[in-house]
Chains A and B, each alone.
Chain A
Amino acid sequence: EVQLVESGGGLVKPGGSLRLSCAASGFTFSSYSMNWVRQAPGMGLEWVSSISGGSVHIYYADSVKGRFTISRDNAENSLYLQMNSLRAEDTAVYYCARLYCTGGSCDQGRAFDIWGQGTMVTVSS
């Protein structure tokens, strides 16, 4: 079964750090770009960061650039998000999501086809 399972969320004070993990199973993890998407309480979805299969291409939303670092360990089938200098506005459920590319080519279409169940991050004093 194709599955993504996040962990590492919790309560942290403003200015603190947290590292999220996403364990992948049921597919060839290294062949897929992966993403982090967050959802603040009662709000919509916000893309946070992306990383290609070989970690060559990495992108961040402006809201987290310079504070968050995405990484992956293909040998461990795991995706990570290191979050530093956390702010109250970072409070959200964080989802990892697999990037699906149409026909095997991201130039022909893309969408997030597999999502984890999410892990809650609360930034509060």
Chain B
Amino acid sequence: EIVLTQSPGTLSLSPGERATLSCRASQSVSSIYLAWYQQKPGQAPRLLIYGASSRATGIPDRFSGSGSGTDFTLTISRLEPEDFAVYYCQQYGSSPRYTFGQGTKLEI
């Protein structure tokens, strides 16, 4: 089973700053199967990035994803107030089919 470890657990930044969130896999992951989601309190997750670096429909270009192998990064170039949320990475594998990281909380 591939385990995804996200760091930091909590990231405290201010609007306008740059956020860098990490997702590390316990073994190599195909980048085409790595996705990032944003979840705000009381809401369902929203797809941000798929294929490690492709933005989903309607996602602003301040969100970008990168990485390969075991190390992946979600970068938010200039934080807007609405970006403060919890972020999850996810990978597709054999068993279990899909695993999520434990999440990074981005707070003001």
* A positions within 8 Å CB-CB of B: 35, 37, 44-47, 50, 59, 61-62, 95, 97, 100, 102, 108-113, 115-118
In whole angstroms, how far apart are the Cα atoms of A110 and B93 in the complex?
11
Instruction: List 13 other contacts, CB 8 Å, given A61-B96, A112-B45, A113-B56.
Output: A44-B101, A45-B37, A45-B39, A45-B88, A102-B51, A109-B33, A109-B51, A111-B35, A111-B51, A112-B35, A112-B37, A116-B44, A118-B44
Q: Given A110-B92, A115-B45, A118-B44, are A47 and B100 also a contact pair (CB < 8 Å)?
A: yes
* B positions within 8 Å CB-CB of A: 32-33, 35, 37, 39, 43-47, 50-51, 54, 56-57, 88, 90, 92, 96-103
**Could you show 5 A-B contacts with beta carbons less than 8 Å apart?**
A37-B98, A47-B100, A61-B96, A97-B45, A111-B51
Cβ of A18 to closest chain B Cβ, rounded Å: 20
In the bound complex, do residue A62 and residue B96 qualify as a contact, i.e. CB atoms below 8 Å apart?
A: yes
